[in-house]
């Protein structure tokens, strides 16, 4: 069954053949933050570690608050967040493009520490600096182009001695802010990322220093990029060191340098899989036990029964109610069908014939003079000729009506 039209105003869901369809799904949101690999293999696909905090409304389960082999936990959050809650993070990282490029995809931060991992200091000096991570669309298998905000002006990416409100103490230093952007070429692989990197290097026109960073004062703004995926991504290290004195006196991550998660770490950001425009839903009806007309007419019925003054398929307009009716189904599609309606005293109060070539016939619950029938219980005799007869009991409660003539 394909439903293209046939919606009605209240409650506004598609309707076809007397059936109303309501398809619900999850909201735009993150479903989980998981570390599925790390340096010592203690976090795996089968037994992942938490990649974010397990408090403040985050959808992440407690796994020990450790995801690195040094016993520390690097947790995903939002830069400039006004608190440690999930909603505070969402308010910071979901920006102009909303969820458009996130859902229904899953995103991975892969800490490979490869020589071609760079991020552009878009909001400060315009430098191009080495980073430990790659950002990938796991679902569509392409690599993003990272911009970042160099929060402490160090011309590098890593932790700085400022506290994130991840926990109640002043001991959660956090990283510079990362802004993943789509590459211009989103075909599978990293061709789009490499094209952006080459354009960035060419735009700055300089040479890397001994650490591979392009920090010579040039603006390494490569134009081969697309829309922002999300903004202000940060990582805070839970309870690493008290930074109220303006220093970080403990270390964590790759090489103990506080510049990112250890090599081999993969953090998977899983989104809710909401309903999409291209989703298709299949409805399988019960198997037809018989195609014999005689068997089908045994199921002749009328709906709604009882009729309580109104039903959703009738609809309304802003001035007057639209025509009221009930529907008979399972009627023969050929031949004469005659309906005779009797009140409980045995008096015939209405009669009419089937006028359609389908199994359905509507009736406006009026007599041959076009007056509405009174509320009550009626007996409906249906004569289907060679196909037999059917007797139905029908109850109706009508709204107040005023006669058009006297």
Q: What is the pLDDT of residue 78?
A: 98
Confidence band, pLDDT 50/70/90 cuts, at residue 288? low
Q: Extract the runs of DSSP E, i.e. beta strands, from 194-300.
A: 225-228, 233-237, 266-271
Query: Which residue has tokens 């399988």?
Result: 284
| 177 inside domain | yes
For residues 241 and 324, state if they share a domain: no
Query: Which residue has tokens 């004195």?
Result: 245
For residues 305 and 360, state if they share a domain: yes
| 187 inside domain | yes
Q: What are phi and psi of 361, to 5 degrees?
A: -150, 125
Q: What is the largest CA-CA distance in the chain?
A: 104
| 279 inside domain | no
What is 225-241 written as a DSSP string? EEEES---EEEEETT--
Q: What is the pLDDT of residue 13?
A: 61
Q: Which residues contact 104 (CB under 8 A, 6 or more apart)?
A: 139, 271, 272, 273, 274, 276
Q: Which domain holds residue 322?
A: 289-396
| 329 inside domain | yes
For residues 211 and 83, state if they share a domain: yes
Q: pLDDT tens for residues 58-117?
A: 999 999 999 999 999 999 999 999 999 999 999 999 999 999 999 999 999 999 999 999
For residues 264 and 293, state if they share a domain: no
Domain count, the chain: 2
Please report, for the domain that includes residue 383, its CATH number. Answer: 2.60.40.3080
For residues 264 and 299, state if they share a domain: no
Residue 287 pLDDT > 80: no
Q: 3-state secondary structure string, 55-104?
A: CCCCCCCCCCCCCCCCCCCEEEEECCCCCCCHHHHHHHHCCCCCCCCCCC
| 236 inside domain | yes
15-16 and 19-20: which strand pairing?
antiparallel
For residues 250 and 298, state if they share a domain: no
Q: What is the pLDDT of residue 367?
A: 87
Q: What is the mean pLDDT of residues 111-127?
A: 98
Q: What is the mean pLDDT of the chain?
A: 90
For residues 235 and 165, state if they share a domain: yes
For residues 179 and 313, state if they share a domain: no
Q: What is the mean pLDDT of residues 137-145?
A: 98
| 104 inside domain | yes
For residues 247 and 308, state if they share a domain: no
Cα 53 from Cα 56, distance rounded (Å):
8
Q: pLDDT tens for residues 309-331?
A: 878 777 666 566 678 899 999 99
Q: What is the mean pLDDT of residues 184-205?
A: 98
Q: What is the pLDDT of residue 6?
A: 38
Q: What is the pLDDT of residue 375?
A: 92
Burial group, residue 172, by CB count within 10 angstroms (0-12, 13-18, 19+): buried
| 278 inside domain | no
For residues 156 and 236, state if they share a domain: yes
Q: When comparing pLDDT for 279 and 142, which is higher? A: 142
For residues 188 and 41, state if they share a domain: yes
| 18 inside domain | no
Q: Which H/E stretch holds residue 197? A: helix 191-204
Q: 271, 301, 329 — which closes off a domain?
A: 271
Cα 239 from Cα 252, distance rounded (Å):
11
With pLDDT > 90 as the criterion, what percentage of the chain qualifies? 75
Q: When comparing pLDDT for 139 and 404, which is higher? A: 139
pTM score, two decimals?
0.70
For residues 237 and 323, state if they share a domain: no
Q: What is the DSSP letter of 313?
A: G
Q: What is the pLDDT of residue 321?
A: 64
């Amino acid at each position: 069954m394909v439903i293209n039209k046939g919606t009605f105003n209240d409650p506004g869901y598609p309707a076809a053949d007397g059936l109303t369809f309501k398809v619900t799904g999850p909201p735009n949101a993150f479903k989980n933050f998981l570390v599925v690999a790390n340096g010592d293999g203690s976090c795996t696909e089968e037994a992942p570690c938490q990649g974010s905090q397990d408090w403040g409304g985050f959808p992440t389960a407690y796994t020990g608050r450790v995801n690195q082999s040094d016993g520390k936990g690097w947790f995903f959050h939002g830069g400039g967040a006004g608190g440690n809650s999930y909603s505070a993070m969402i308010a910071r990282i979901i920006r102009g493009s909303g969820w458009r490029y996130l859902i229904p995809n899953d995103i991975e931060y892969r800490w490979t520490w490869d020589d071609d991992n760079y991020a552009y200091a878009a909001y400060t000096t315009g430098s191009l600096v080495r980073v430990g991570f790659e950002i990938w669309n796991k679902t569509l298998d392409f690599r993003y182009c990272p911009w970042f905000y160099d929060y402490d002006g160090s011309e590098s990416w890593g932790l700085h001695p400022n506290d994130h409100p991840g926990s109640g103490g002043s001991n959660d230093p956090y990283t510079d802010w990362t802004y993943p952007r789509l590459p211009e070429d989103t075909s599978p692989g990293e061709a789009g990322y490499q094209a952006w990197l080459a354009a960035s290097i060419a735009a700055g026109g300089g040479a890397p220093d001994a650490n591979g960073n392009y920090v010579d004062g040039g603006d390494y703004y490569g134009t081969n990029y697309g829309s922002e995926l999300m903004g202000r991504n940060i990582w805070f290290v839970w309870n690493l060191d008290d930074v109220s004195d303006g220093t970080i006196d403990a270390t964590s991550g790759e090489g103990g340098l506080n510049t990112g998660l250890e090599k081999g770490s993969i953090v998977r950001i899983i989104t809710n899989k909401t309903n999409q425009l291209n989703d298709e839903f299949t409805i399988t009806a019960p198997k037809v036990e018989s195609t014999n007309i005689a068997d089908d007419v045994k199921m002749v019925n009328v709906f709604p029964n009882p009729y309580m003054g109104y039903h959703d398929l009738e609809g309304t307009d802003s001035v007057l109610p639209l025509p009221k009716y009930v529907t008979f189904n399972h009627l023969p599609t050929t031949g004469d069908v005659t309906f005779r309606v009797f009140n409980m005293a045995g008096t015939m109060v209405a009669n009419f014939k089937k006028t359609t070539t389908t199994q359905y016939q509507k009736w406006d619950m009026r007599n041959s003079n076009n007056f509405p029938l009174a509320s009550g219980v009626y007996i409906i005799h249906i004569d289907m000729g060679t196909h037999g007869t059917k007797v139905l009991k029908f109850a109706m409660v009508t709204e107040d009506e005023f006669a058009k003539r006297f």
